[in-house]
Structures are given as structure tokens and as C-alpha cells.
Amino acid sequence: MLLLALAGATATLAACGGGDAETSTGASLPTGCEQVSEPPAKERHLKPPPQTVQPGESLTATVDTSCGRFDIRLDTKDFPRTVNSFVYLAKNGFYDDTIFHRIVPRFIVQGGDPLQNGHGGPGYTVTERPPPDTTYRRGTVAMAKAPVEPAGRSGSQFFVVTAPDAGLPANYAILGRVTSGFDVVKRIGTLGDPASGDEGTPLAPVVVRGITVRDG
């Protein structure tokens, strides 16, 4: 499932500091990122989860990547079904050994696809329509969907906004907000090929090793 591209978005690769590792494409990895191989694609088909997350419950997800870790404060108040699905997938290891398959510098980083190409999902969907005044600002984490799908539809793919304001319409269910480790997100955001535009082809693999969810 592809996130609707920001019209007219431009992608500029941020410069990397000295001492960085070289990737197979010749690009430099920013300090803090490990050179890793892309995991194999895999088909996943899960049954829809029961609703176990309570509205307003305090939950934080830690995303462990080959570029470091970042925390997401999950929005259980306004999007309990969306969060419930994400928590279910995380606890079942669905996100383990997946990549950020779409990285558009100064716009978004997107992952959560077991097929690693933007077309995969968990085998079910959830729909939780966002309010019309929803905005997608820096640090917002939301669920990706195909343009033909209804507003608020989601599977497993998520994106983190790295732009001050992504300028997207209120079509994407909110998962939460990055509360710590945004430097890691920015680091990942430098690894998009500027020549690929809104396609966001990564210059090097960034692997999600796992996602853990805790109270608080």
C-alpha cells in the first residue's frame, strides 16, 4: 500500500558526517546506522485481532532499528482500533526483520511491509476515519494506505513525518507521535535517494529488528 505522495514534494539527501560506512550503492551511512543486508520478503496472513486496547490506555511502542531506537506514544484515545491492530502485530513479531521501504528526505519514512516493496500487509484491514482537521506534522506517526482505499483504512504499513508539515489530507489514521529518538528518525530520513522523488527508494537498507509495546 502506497502513501499518497505530497504534490510537488522535493527530496534532498542530507549530508552525512565523516567516518560513515559505505553501502553497496556507494552512499555513506550516517553515524549511528549499521550496515545490514535487506531481509527476505515474506507473505503474512493473520486473522483480525480482538479489541484488547482500551480507549485512553497509556501505551508506548519502541521501534528498534539498525539506525537506533525511537519511541511512539500511541494514540489510544482517538484511534483505539488502529492502535489495537498495531499492538497485535508488534506482539506477534510481524514487524521483525522488515525494512523502511520508502524514505523521502524531508517528508516521510515508511515501513511495516513484510513484502518490502509497499504492496504487502497483514491479510486484514482496519478502518478508523480521522477528523477532517487532522494534520500530519513532524513526529506524527500514521498508517499508510492506497489512494483508492477509504480514509482511515490501514493494514500494517506506517509512516513517520519528518517535514514540518507533510501537507497531506486527513485520510490517514493516526497511530501516535514520536516522543523520543527523533534523531534516529531523521537519520533514517537521510537515506532516501533524491533521484527517486516521491517513490522514496532507499539508498541502503534500514531494518526494523522489532517493536515492543509497554504501559506508560
Cβ proximity of 138 and 168 under 8 Å = no
At residue 26, the pLDDT reads: 55
* CATH T-level topology, domain 59-125+178-215: Cyclophilin (2.40.100)
Locate 63 and state its grid cell.
521501534
Locate 114 and state its grid cell.
513484510
Amino acid identity at 165: D
Backbone angles phi, psi at 141, to 5 degrees: -115, 125
- Band (pLDDT 50/70/90 cuts) for residue 13 is very low
Strand partners, 177: 73, 140
At residue 124, the pLDDT reads: 98
Backbone angles phi, psi at 184, to 5 degrees: -70, -45
Angstrom CA distances, 120 to 161, 168, 205, 215, stand at 21, 22, 17, 29
Is the pTM higher than 0.85? The answer reads yes
Q: Evaluate if residue 17 carries a pLDDT over 70.
A: no
Residue 86, helix vs strand vs coil: helix
In 135-195, the DSSP E strands lie at 140-143, 153-154, 158-161, 174-180
What are 115-142's pLDDT values in tens digits?
999 999 999 999 999 999 999 999 999 9
Domain boundaries, the chain: 59-125+178-215
- Band (pLDDT 50/70/90 cuts) for residue 103 is very high
Closest by CA to 207, choosing from 62, 42, 64, 44, is: 64
Locate 159 and state its grid cell.
509512516
What are 148-204's pLDDT values in tens digits?
999 999 999 999 999 999 999 999 999 999 999 999 999 999 999 999 999 999 999
At residue 170, the pLDDT reads: 98
Cβ proximity of 33 and 205 under 8 Å = no
